[in-house]
Amino acid sequence: MIIRAFPTILAVAILTFGGCKRSTDPLESRSRTVAHRQGVEPSANHVSEPGVQSYADVVDRIAPAVITVRSERRIRAPHQFPFMFDPFFRQFFGDGGEPSASGLAPESQVQHALGSGVIIRADGQIITNHHVTDGAEGIKVDLNDQRTFTANLVGSDPPSDLAVLKINASNLPVLSLGDSSRVRVGDVCLAVGNPMGIGETVTAGIISAKGRRTGLSDGSIEDFLQTDAAINQGNSGGALVNTRGELIGINSQILSPSGGNIGIGFAIPSNMARDVFTQLTTSGRVRRGQLGVGVQRVTSDLAASLGLHDVRGVLINSVLPGSPADRAGLRPGDVITAVNGTPVNDPNALRNLIASTAPGTEITLTIFRDRHEQQIKSKVRELSSKEQTSESAPAGAPRGGGVLGITVEALTPEIAKQLGLPANTRGIVVTGLAPAGPAAEAGVETGDVILQVNRQPVQSPEQVKAAISRSGSRPVLLLLQRQGQNIFVTVTPQR
C-alpha cells in the first residue's frame, strides 16, 4: 500500500494519547509517512562515492535548514446513538466510552500532527507537504536552534501535495534548490527530517528511479523521485538532498504493505517544488495547463496495429469535446510522439509536461496518424481547480475516480482484444489502482471492466466521473466484468 509520509498523530482532549498506527480518523487517514529502511549501514557500494568516507560536512550545512512542523486541528466527535450512555441500551451496544462530567459525550477532539519542512528563503519561507498542514487551525515550527515560531499558511496545492509556510524571522539558514532534472538513477542522496518525533535525523541511500506515479496525491500531479534512503513517520515535508547539499526533493510517500518501511519511498522533485513555491508566493494559487485528451501507453501490439515501426509516443484514446485538443483536430487513435520537439513516451510524463505549461501557451504537437507524422498546433487552456481535485485526471492522463483510488480508460477494441473480451464489450477498463485506495480494498482489480456505476451504464471516463460525483459520500455500486463474469462491488469514496 502507498502511504503519504505524514507524522505521528496524537488525539487529545478528554482522549488518551494514540500511537503511530493506521486509523480511520479523517486527519490521520490523510497522513502520509515518507518511510524507508532503518539502520542502513554506509558502505562503499551503497552510499559512498569513490574516496568519500563521510558526508558530515554536507550534513553540517543542510541540517539547520530542515525544521519540524507541528499542526493541530479541532474536530467534532462522531455523533453517538442518543441513548448510548443509558445503562439499559449499553448492554446491547457494549462499552462505547465514558460520558463526560455533564453526562454527554465529548463534542470535539484536538488532533496533533508532526512533520518536517525545509527553509528555502532566509526571511522565513518554508516548503512542506500539503497533507502536513491540511485542515490545520494552528501551525508551529521548531527550528534547529531550539526556537519555536507560529507559522502562517501562505498557500497550499493538493495536486502536488506541497504547501508554503511563513514565519516571522530573518537571517535563517536555507537550502538551495537543485535541478532535479539532472538527477540520475544511482546518485547518492541524503534524507533529513524528524522521524517519530525523536529529533532531526539524517539517513543515506540512492535514487532508485525517476518519474514515478503512485496515484495517491489529489489530482495526480506526480513525478516522484524514488529512493531507498531510510525515513519514517514524521519525515513528511523533509529534505532529500544530493551530496553537494542541494535540495532535490521533498519527501512525501512510501510504498508499504504494512505502513512500515521497506525501502521504497517517494519525493516530489525540486523543479516541481520550485514552480509551485513561486506561484503560491506570487499569486496564492497554482495555474496548470490542460490539453483535454485521455492517453495510454503504446505497447508493441498497438504499435504494430498502428503502423509504428517502433514502440514510442502515447496513444490518444479520448478527446474532451470543446477542449483545445478537440479544436486542434486531435482524435482518438492519434499517437503524440513529441511536444515542442521534445519526445514523449510516457502518459505520466506527457501529463506533467502539459500541466507545467502556462495556460494560453501555444504548443506544437508531433503526432503519428495514418502511418505518417505531422505537426498540429494547439493552445493550452487552464485546468480549473475543480478539475484538479475531481475524479478526472489532469490533461494527458487516463481519467478515473480519484476518490475511489482508480484510474480508468475508454475500452478500445485493442484493449478489449488484449483482455480477451468480446469486440462488442462496452464499458470502461480499470488501468490503475492506488494500493491503499478504497477500490483496491473493496476488491477491484486492474483489468476489470466497469459496466455500470450505480446501475447506470457507462461508456466514457466522463460518465464514470459524473456518476461518482453524484454519489457524494455514499458508497458507489460498480458492476464489473472480470474474466467473463459479472460482479457487483460497493466502494466507499475517500473524501
pLDDT in tens, the chain (495 residues): 555 654 444 433 322 223 233 333 333 333 343 333 333 333 333 444 556 678 999 999 999 999 999 988 765 544 444 444 445 444 444 444 445 554 444 555 667 778 899 999 999 999 999 988 888 889 999 998 999 999 999 999 988 889 999 999 999 999 999 999 999 999 999 999 887 777 888 999 999 999 887 765 544 577 889 998 877 777 788 999 999 999 999 998 877 666 666 788 889 999 999 999 999 999 988 889 989 888 888 888 778 878 888 999 998 877 888 889 999 999 888 999 999 999 999 888 898 889 889 899 999 999 999 889 999 999 999 876 544 433 333 333 334 446 788 888 887 777 777 677 777 777 888 877 776 678 888 888 888 889 888 878 888 888 888 888 787 777 888 888 887 777 878 888 875
Is residue 275 among the annotated active site residues? no
Q: What CATH number should be reported for the domain whose range is 1-286? A: 2.40.10.120
* Structural contact between residues 476 and 490, judged by C-beta atoms closer than 8 angstroms: yes
- Residue 105, pLDDT score: 46
Choosing from 116, 160, 217, 236, the catalytic residue is 236
- The catalytically annotated residue of 112, 131, 208, 392 is 131
Amino acid at 380: V
Is residue 130 part of the annotated active site? The answer reads: no
Identity of the amino acid at 339? V
- 236 catalytic? Reply is yes
Predicted local distance difference test score (pLDDT) of residue 74: 66
Q: Give the total residue count for the chain.
A: 495
**Active-site option among 134, 157, 161, 228:** 161
Cell digits for 468?
461518482
Domain-wise residue ranges, the chain? 1-286, 289-387, 399-491
What's the rounded Cα separation, in Å, for the pair 431 and 216? 14
pLDDT in the model for residue 249: 94
Q: Class assignment of domain 399-491?
A: mainly beta
- Report the C-alpha gap between 1 and 405 in whole angstroms: 12
133: how many CB neighbours lie within 10 A of its CB?
A: 22
| Cell numbers at 72, concatenated | 493541530
Query: 289-387 has which CATH code?
Result: 2.30.42.10
- Cα distances (angstroms) measured from residue 345 to each of 73, 311, 436: 43, 8, 27
Same fold, 1-286 and 289-387: no
pLDDT given at position 436: 67
Q: What is the pLDDT of residue 258?
A: 62
| pLDDT reported for residue 409 | 82
